[in-house]
Amino acid sequence: MDKFIIQGGATLRGEITISGAKNSALPILAATLLVDGPSTLANVPNLADIRAQLDLLGDLGCDTRRDENGVLTAEVTSTDNSWATYDRVRKMRASISVLGPLLARRGYARVSMPGGCAIGSRPVDLHLRGLEALGAKIELDNGDIIASCDKLRGTEIFLGGAFGSTVLGTMNVLSAATLAEGTTVIESAACEPEVVDLVTYLNACGAKISGAGSPRITIEGVERLTGCDHTVIPDRIEAGTFLIAAAATKSDDLLIQNIHLRDMMALVDKLREVGIVVVPENNGTAARVVVPGEILPTDITTQPHPGFPTDVQAQMMVLLSLANGNSVLTEKIFPDRFLHVPELLRMGANIRKEGPTSIITGVDQLIGAPVMASDLRASAALVIAGLVARGETTIRRVYHIDRGYEHIETKLAACGATIRREKE
Ligand code: EPZ
């Protein structure tokens, strides 16, 4: 296992180019199981989670290869195996995204129930309810979901749950509905930009989907879909992570490029509220921050898009740990998503967790310490904390970070951070 060694205190300067969105590439790769013929996908990031999805697609008869420019081609050449095994799914729960495409294209899918993970139990009841509404028969056997159908039929589906909409649930159901007989309406659909990107890909393959990005998505079933070319959108969570890192390190001369700032307005709003000037460049496809004075406290509640993203909650907590006053951060999507708190306390932060809410009392400075990465975004938060802390921070188990950030230490070191990777 690898670890990061970070010397805090550096100001970052130069340019960071954001990679393609992991949470868009994963469901789009799954959706290639729906289509006949090859699809070429550009801007697919080279991440551990993507490699895991490509391995799973290989099991399921979808051949994938990257050319010298990193453009990925995917084409189904065999439909003999439709079983996503526990061994595959336990390593990456987004593997559940193959369920809808397999069921719709082959009439059968066996997908291991994803377990929980560091941020909480990750139920899939809404996915299954949506697929059953389309006419699928769903059984559970030995920890696997077994879904089967003759032909899916369009219907009206309410997909909201206790925590609001479901991103992968919306993607599974809308993907399956593309080949159903008749029209499907999904009410309380997820509005994330990654849902829109998946629909852009599917429509380019011949699907007839409207309303993506709104809570009501309409899908008119078609006979078949054929492969197409698609470029994955930039990763708004990676972009948000680096904007927060720039703010925390008061790096006024760091350009974050290849972004869609319009997809990040909830975070931009909160950064401005705490005193950070966010400066859009190149029509919102790049941005930098200016930190004119002290960081101000604020209150944040995570919400489904377009609300404040849960995936930058941990990173924002680091910035609020340095604010001049008390902030309140409430996690409405994954109420237990606070594994970063004990590690930040080791670095001198003053945070009190009360159920799904953390009260953050700003301190003058964080102090470097050995800390442990836990989930993907909490680990990115620890990198930001290490960048601003006094002294040295060692972050163990950085494989968590490699799941969602392409060479984060290389990108940061190129901008002046003192960070290196070492074998444990
Ligand atoms: C996606 O997960 C993202 N992952 C997550 O990013 C992200 O945190 C999450 O959406 C919320 O934005 C990918 O896209 C691969 P949900 P997903 O279904 O779709 C509950 C990262 O760091 N729920 O929108 O699995 C669920 O427990 C990852 O990149 C049900 O109750 O999340 C949660 O409380 C972490 N029943 C809420 O809904 C269901 O059937 C939102 O979950 C499904 C979800």
What is the pLDDT, as a whole number, of residue 271?
A: 98
**Helices vs. strands in the chain: H and E counts, helices first:** 14, 24
Which has the closest alpha carbon to 76: 225, 221, 200? 225
Helix 236-248 / helix 265-273 crossing angle, nearest 10 deg: 10
Query: Which among 114, 107, 162 is positioned nearest to 140, based on CA atoms?
Result: 114
How far is it, in rounded angstroms, from Cα 195 to Cα 268? 21
Q: Which CATH architecture has domain 22-231?
A: Alpha-beta prism (3.65)
Query: What is the 8-class DSSP label of residue 94?
Result: G
pLDDT of residue 118: 81
- CB of 122 within 6 A of ligand 1: the answer is yes
The amino acid occupying position 144 is D
Residue 166 Cα to ligand 1 midpoint, Å, equals: 6
Choose which residue among 19, 93, 132, 167 to substitute to test ligand 1 binding: the one with the highest number of ligand atoms within 8 A of its C-beta. Answer: 167
Residues 120-162 have pLDDT tens digits of 888 999 999 999 999 999 999 999 999 999 999 999 999 999 9
Count of all residues that appear for the chain in the document = 424
- The pairing of beta strand 370-372 with beta strand 229-231: unpaired
Per-residue pLDDT, averaged over 294-306, amounts to: 98
Spell out the residues 6+ positions from residue 389 whose beta carbon is closer than 8 angstroms to its own. Answer: 6, 8, 347, 348, 365, 366, 367, 368, 369
Mean pLDDT lowest among 99-103, 117-121, 157-161, 224-228: 117-121
Percent residues over pLDDT 70 in the chain: 100
Of the given ranges (35-49, 75-89, 107-121), which has the lowest mean pLDDT? 107-121
Q: Which pLDDT score, from 0 to 100, does residue 194 have? A: 98
With tokens 């005193």, the residue in question is 275
Q: How far apart are the C-alpha atoms of 409 and 238, rounded to whole Å? A: 13
Catalytic residue among 117, 191, 205, 415: 117
Confidence band of 196 (pLDDT split at 50, 70, 90): very high
Interval between CA 151 and ligand 1 midpoint (Å): 28
Angle at 329 between CA 328 and CA 330, to 5 degrees: 120
**The pair of three-digit structure tokens given for residue 213, joined into one six-digit string:** 């990005």
Q: Alpha carbon of 298 to those of 48, 266, 295, 350: distances in Å?
A: 34, 13, 10, 15
Predicted confidence at residue 34, as pLDDT, reads: 98
Say what the pLDDT of residue 86 is: 94
Question: Does residue 268 sit in helix, strand or coil?
Answer: helix
Residue 91 pLDDT greater than 90, yes or no: no
Q: What is the mean pLDDT of residues 159-174?
A: 97
pLDDT at 116 over 80: no
pLDDT above 90 covers what percent of the chain? Answer: 96
Ligand 1 centroid to residue 357 C-alpha, Å? 19
State the average pLDDT over residues 228-236: 98
Query: Would the pTM count as exceeding 0.95?
Result: yes
Can you tell me which atom of ligand 1 is nearest the CA of 129?
40
What pLDDT score was predicted for residue 117? 79
What ranges in 4-124 are assigned the alpha helix state H?
Answer: 22-31, 48-59, 86-89, 99-106
Residue range 73-78: average pLDDT? 98
pLDDT class for 338, splitting at 50, 70, 90? very high
pLDDT beyond 80 at 404 = yes
Q: Average pLDDT in the 169-196 region?
A: 98
Ligand 1 pocket check for 169: Cβ under 6 Å: yes
Q: What is the pLDDT of residues 349-398, one digit of tens each?
A: 999 999 999 999 999 999 999 999 988 999 999 999 999 999 999 999 99
Q: Are both 2-19+234-423 and 22-231 of the same fold?
A: yes
Each domain of the chain, given as residue ranges in start order, spans 2-19+234-423, 22-231
Domain boundaries 2-19+234-423, CATH class = alpha beta
Name every residue whose Cβ is closer than 8 Å to that of residue 407 and which is 6 or more positions away in sequence: none
Average pLDDT over residues 289-296: 97
